[in-house]
Amino acid sequence: MGATSEEFLVKSEEKAFDADHRRIINFNIDRYNTAVARGLSRVVNLDNAKKKGHVIKWKVMENLDKFLPEFEANFQKRGGKVIWANDVQEAQREILNIIKKAGAKTVVKSKSMVTEEVHLNEFLESNNIESLETDLGEYIVQLLGQKPYHIVTPAMHLSKEDIAKLFHEKFGTPPDATPEQITLKAREMLREKYVQADVGITGANFLLADTGSIAISENEGNARLCTTFPKIHIAIVGIEKVIPSITDLDLFWPMLSTHGTGQNLTVYNTILSGPRKPNETDGPEEMYVVLLDNGRTNLLAQKDQRQGLYCIRCGACLNGCPIYKNIGGHTFATTYSGPIGSIITPHTQGMEDFKHLSYASSLCGKCTEVCPVKIDIHKMLLLNRRDAVNQNLVTNKERWGWAIWKKGMLKRSMADFFGGGMKNFLLKTFFKRTWGHLREMPKVADKSFSKQWQELHKSEPED
């Protein structure tokens, strides 16, 4: 077991028994569940909508080599520039080149998990470029020096009292400031930054192949400000975000919003198709789209598991997962946490270091049930476990343990040979440290059901 999995187990135990953390998460997810149930009730045929989304994403992944060049050609026709980045380093280097070429010193960012994936804030700061998050949740975790806790709500792990305390310490607002007061203070500080910034960086929820556009959904309007005021706009997007047509937004926008927050539609939905034209008053002088691979083609090569790339990043599987609700987002130590992170990270970042995430599941199937594009998530977790074994990435202790267990379970006489006393001894000896320190170990009956049945029927008179 590697250092990453050891750390995961330690952090999981800490968070699972952190009563305050669980109180905040349960409160926030309960509010989400109420809103989402209300939102989904308005969808006339939810299962049909999910199936349609699944088929569209299937079509894209089977033809990614056609849709991506189509997007590139159409975007370039409108004056935009496309950059292909194979990995984190290439993405960082290309973005830095654009910024340096423009002589820029300040960057404003809207919420983007892909920029988290390439560690963009830290990279830019190490090159003396100020990079400021403008989404309120992202801004809060940036002030704390933390990573986003959740792919949709970055500061879900904080209560309003925690945030009021942070703003009081940083900006002198009242220690009991209301959420409205905190929002006004953040707006007051950030508005000036939009006007001063040289470069705006965003992600994108969808790439539209037929129009050569990017589509961004947000609830605060900060992405529009990031893409309107600065002279340069850079969008960094995973290659799996492409969809065939602008007409597909008719399905994907409502499905994303209802599963993400319970809204009928996200407040701001923007389609951007290149830099400002001569007859237009708003928009950047230059617009770039960085298409990021970073291991996605590794997952694409896995025929059984490539549906992990269908994800539209709504966060529904995180909110439904009993493991996530107990151990939280930071414990995963990956950009994408929860069930979806557990199925894609071992392929994009390496099975050896991240196989343990596929075991962090009760296999209850809730993630699969709530997915808006019908990704068979809990099946993918099992396939990842299979791959880890096939790649010989399990310890000798684990391999021998399962071999002995399998041998015993397949032969009745072997199972009965080790009586209840021996089984209880083995449980106390070998499982006390890993399981027993948190729960009472089960007591195995002295005689198996099979033995009891035999003895019962031996004593019965024959007909």
Q: What pairs with residue 350 in β-bridges? A: none
Tens of each residue's pLDDT in the chain, 463 residues = 455 888 998 999 899 999 999 999 999 999 999 999 999 999 999 999 999 999 999 999 999 999 999 999 999 999 999 999 999 999 999 999 999 999 999 999 999 999 999 999 999 999 999 999 999 999 999 999 999 999 999 999 999 999 999 999 999 999 999 999 999 999 998 999 999 999 999 999 999 999 999 999 999 999 999 999 999 999 999 999 999 999 999 999 999 999 999 999 999 999 999 999 998 888 999 999 999 999 999 999 999 999 999 999 999 999 999 999 999 999 999 999 999 999 999 999 999 999 999 999 999 999 999 999 999 999 999 999 999 999 999 888 888 888 888 888 888 787 777 777 788 887 887 777 777 777 788 888 888 888 888 888 876 665 5
pLDDT at 2: 52
Q: Angle, to 10 degrees, between the axis of helix 179-196 and the axis of helix 160-171?
A: 50
Residue 376 has which token pair? 């068979």
Rounded to whole angstroms, the Cα distance separating 414 from 409 reads: 8
Q: How many CB atoms lie within 10 A of CB 175?
A: 11
Q: Which CATH class is domain 43-294?
A: alpha beta
Contacts of 411 (CB under 8 A, 6+ apart): none
| Structural domain boundaries in the chain | 43-294, 403-458
Whole-Å CA distances, 65 to 42, 49, 55, 71? 36, 26, 17, 11
Rounded to whole angstroms, the Cα distance separating 39 from 46 reads: 11
Q: How many CB atoms lie within 10 A of CB 57?
A: 23
Q: What pairs with residue 208 in β-bridges? A: 213, 243
What is the three-state SS of the chain? CCHHHHHHHHHHHHHHCCHHHHHHHHHHHHHHHHHHHHHHCCCCCHHHHHHHHHHHHHHHHHCHHHHHHHHHHHHHHCCCEEEEECCHHHHHHHHHHHHHHCCCCEEEECCCHHHHHCCHHHHHHHCCCEEEECCHHHHHHHHHCCCCCCCCCCCCCCCHHHHHHHHHHHHCCCCCCCHHHHHHHHHHHHHHHHHHCCEEEECCCEEECCCCEEEEEECCCHHHHHHHCCCEEEEEEEHHHEECCHHHHHHHHHHHHHHHCCCCCCCEEEEECCCCCCCCCCCCCEEEEEEECCCHHHHHCCCCCHHHHHCCCCCHHHHHCHHHHHHCCHHHCCCCCHHHHHHHHHHHCCHHHHHHHHHCCCCCCHHHHHCCCCCCHHHHHHHHHHHHHHCCCCCHHHHHHHHHHHHHHHCHHHHHHCCHHHHHHHHHHHCHHHHHCCCCCCCCCCCCHHHHHHHHHHCCCCC
pLDDT at 422: 80
pLDDT at 413: 80
- Could you read off the pLDDT of 260-317 as tens digits, one per residue? 999 999 999 999 999 999 988 889 999 999 999 999 999 999 999 999 999 999 999 9
